[in-house]
Amino acid sequence: MNLNKVVLIFKKDFKELLRDKKALIAMFLPIIIYPIILIFIFELQSTVSNKLKSEKSRIIIKNEIPSLFLKKINLSDKFKILNSEDSNYKKLIKNEKIDMEIEFTNTNKNSPEKIKILYNSTITKSKLAKKRIDKLFDEYKVELEKNKIKELNIKVPILDAVQLKSNDLSKSKDYTEMILGSLLPFLLTIYSIMGIYAISIDLTAGEKERGTLETIFSIPVKKSEIIFGKLLASSSVGIISCFINILAVIPLLMGIMIAIPKFSFQIDIFRMVIMFFMLIPIIILSSSIIIGVGFFANSYKEAQSYLSPVLLILMLPCYVAIFPNFKLTLCTAMIPISGGIISMRNMLIGNYNILNLLIANITNIIVSIISIIFMTYIFKSEKVIFGTGGKNNFSTKTRRSQSYTKKKTKDRR
């Protein structure tokens, strides 16, 4: 295999991809879209949140209301007590006519008060009413206990037999690393695969549809040189697409930092470099599979039909790897793609095993080599590439074309 010819095919395919407006739009559109989405989401969230906070929770209180609780309700500006002739409170809550129903079933001073709350956690306003009433009940309970203690003439220190004090060992850095550890490797992998998807279709079925693939075979190059040139072009675009998308996500992360005070991050360059090298086998694996399957199609639309389930299969290990309980072990490290993402996640958190990390990377390398062999095998099949055989197969046509070219060259001399 001639490396210069591989580079030549790579340059040719890469230049064509850079001239393709669809490919460029797919690569650079996230830089424009993500900030717009960010602004829209935060503005919408802020508007809805402010509106909900300003509105009073509509409640119905059944039976006799304790005077202390009624006093607290009246002092609060978060509730509005309603009366309804309809006693079907479940229907009223479901239809969002009211937010909550509270029932006092026992107001006897000599026995504990029993309170029933009816709400719907799937309705935002009802859920907010429950959150507000919980806070009010905590205050009501404390004040009620104080009053009863005074009536019974009990000293307060006797009740404080146990004093609980808890310390959270997590820091803002740990909180950030936990979020980034799950999010960043996932985004890197997903964006890489998405960038490869459209480009690989154009390099395979797109060229077959345009008839430019036959032109490449008319020059003295081996099939292996062509396929590796295409793989190099597709993988390069995947890496570029990945970093462009991550660059576009930075404003999103900055927005989260503003919204969540605990969120502050500082990524180690060394870890990012390791992540980059761990991502390369995954990119090559995805490129070779998509290119290999893409050659079965004879048109762009047909390739999309073939590759849609392939894309879902490639993305499935990415989604599995972001589950918090999915830990890096010797077994999970051997799962293609998933093992690599979990390794990157653990590396960002700072809790990783070198052996498992190496196994995950080696597994992806082995599987990527197998996928390259599969892609090369597919490319060598003329029935798959051109759908022809016998005397009119492409090898015969190529030899005839090359013989005709040599004859013309001799005649000119």
Residues 276-286: tens digit of each pLDDT: 788 888 888 88
| Burial zone of 137 (CB within 10 Å; 0-12 exposed, 13-18 middle, 19+ buried) | middle
CB distance 233 to 288 below 8 Å: no
Mean pLDDT of the chain: 75
* Of 302, 281, 275, 303, residue with least CA distance to 291: 303
* Of 145, 147, 140, residue with least CA distance to 117: 140
Tell me the per-residue pLDDT of 178-194, one tens digit each, with 9 for 90 and over: 666 667 788 778 877 87
Quote the CA–CA distance of 320 and 216 in Å, as a whole number: 40
| pTM, two decimal places | 0.63
Q: Most confidently modeled of 5-9, 31-35, 135-139? A: 135-139
Tell me the per-residue pLDDT of 318-373, one tens digit each, with 9 for 90 and over: 887 677 677 778 888 888 888 888 888 887 777 777 888 888 889 988 988 888 88
* Of 193, 350, 349, 201, residue with least CA distance to 279: 193
Q: Which residue has the higher pLDDT, 160 or 269?
A: 269
CA distances from 193 to 42, 227, 289, 325 (A): 28, 19, 11, 24
Specify the pLDDT at position 89: 84
Q: Which token pair is 323?
A: 């589950």
Specify the pLDDT at position 329: 80
Q: Which token pair is 123?
A: 């309705």
Quote the CA–CA distance of 146 and 135 in Å, as a whole number: 17
For the sheet containing 57-62, what is the strand order?
79-81, 57-62, 100-106, 114-118
Total residues found in the chain within this entry:
413
Which domains are present in the chain? Answer: 3-37+173-387 (no CATH), 56-153 (3.40.190.10)
| Burial zone of 313 (CB within 10 Å; 0-12 exposed, 13-18 middle, 19+ buried) | exposed
Quote the CA–CA distance of 1 and 354 in Å, as a whole number: 35
Tell me the per-residue pLDDT of 37-86, one tens digit each, with 9 for 90 and over: 666 766 776 777 777 778 888 888 888 778 888 888 888 888 888 887 77
